[in-house]
């Protein structure tokens, strides 16, 4: 196939679906993966009809250790390789660290960190061989903020994703892979199903409208940044200001502010 292919995880809704729409509008073929087959197929049909591209759907649960190999095997069976990878799949795990099971926490780490890192590790050799690649890891503004009660691992995993992406982008440049770029996309509050799934929609709806962004400009910021070779991007002026504040505020004040506000977007019950 002459067209490049973008693999998007968590593609059935929200930011993932918007990545699919924007890459399809650029004329890219797509590999869409998530757990919800019906939504993936509906999105694939929509984009094939609208843009004349080819969309492959792969229903997989990234919490399963074999999921990454299954996704890549499905593409190989169709004779396709990954030119761009968008690690978007994710969710919030309500509750505290001690009132949730280890199985829940382990699945969370697998979906939000281990699987994205494994996917990057397994598609990079082919990118290097072809001399072209794009990797966007959807992190979060939470990766900059102080830790909070509830959703215990969310911020730490997103912080790790930012650092991993920075290192990966630097390694590609240092080893002469000048057209392989890796970007950590760090959105703040974005309109999607994320807060419905983790049970915080009622509380987050009370937050100021200026704190929210639509998915389309968030995704555009990520695509533009990775094409420039920018290792980290925080979309939106409000989010940029908040990210800057986390760097300049005294740590004790930052922790106090997060503690005071976290109950609005972190559930400690399950």
DSSP code, position 131: T
Strands 133-138 and 84-87 come out as parallel
Q: Single out the residue of 207, 211, 227, 221 nearest to residue 15, CA to CA.
A: 221
Q: Which of 23, 113, 144, 154 is catalytic?
A: 154
Q: What element of type H or E holds 8? A: strand 5-9
DSSP 58-96: EE--TTSTTHHHHHHHHHHHTT---SEEEE-------S-
Q: What element of type H or E holds 49? A: helix 37-51
* 23 is known as an active-site residue: no
CA 101 – CA 10 distance, rounded (Å): 23
Q: Which residues are catalytic?
A: 154
């Amino acid at each position: 196939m002459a067209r490049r292919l973008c693999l998007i995880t968590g593609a059935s809704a929200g930011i993932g679906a918007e990545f699919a729409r924007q890459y399809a509008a650029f004329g890219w073929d797509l590999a869409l993966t998530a757990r919800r087959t019906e939504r993936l197929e509906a999105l694939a049909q929509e984009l094939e009809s609208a843009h004349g591209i080819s969309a492959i759907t792969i229903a997989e649960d990234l919490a399963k250790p074999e999921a990454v190999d299954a996704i890549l095997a499905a593409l190989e069976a169709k004779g396709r390789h990954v030119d761009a990878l968008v690690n978007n799949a994710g969710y919030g795990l309500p509750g505290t660290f001690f009132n949730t099971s280890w199985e829940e926490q382990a699945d969370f780490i697998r979906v939000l960190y281990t699987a994205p890192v494994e996917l990057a590790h397994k598609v990079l050799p082919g990118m290097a061989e072809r001399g072209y690649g794009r990797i966007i890891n959807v992190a979060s503004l939470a990766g900059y903020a102080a830790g909070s009660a509830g959703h215990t691992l969310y911020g730490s995993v997103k912080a790790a994703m930012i650092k991993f992406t920075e290192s990966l982008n630097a390694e590609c440049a240092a080893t002469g892979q000048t057209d392989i770029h890796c970007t950590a996309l760090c959105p703040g509050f974005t309109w999607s199903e994320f807060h419905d799934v983790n049970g915080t929609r009622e509380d987050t709806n009370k937050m100021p409208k200026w704190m929210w962004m639509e998915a389309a400009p968030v995704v555009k910021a990520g695509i533009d940044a990775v094409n420039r070779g920018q290792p980290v991007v925080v979309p939106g002026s409000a989010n940029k200001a908040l990210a800057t504040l986390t760097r300049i505020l005294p740590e004790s004040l930052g922790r106090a502010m997060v503690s005071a506000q976290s109950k609005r977007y972190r559930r400690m019950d399950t």
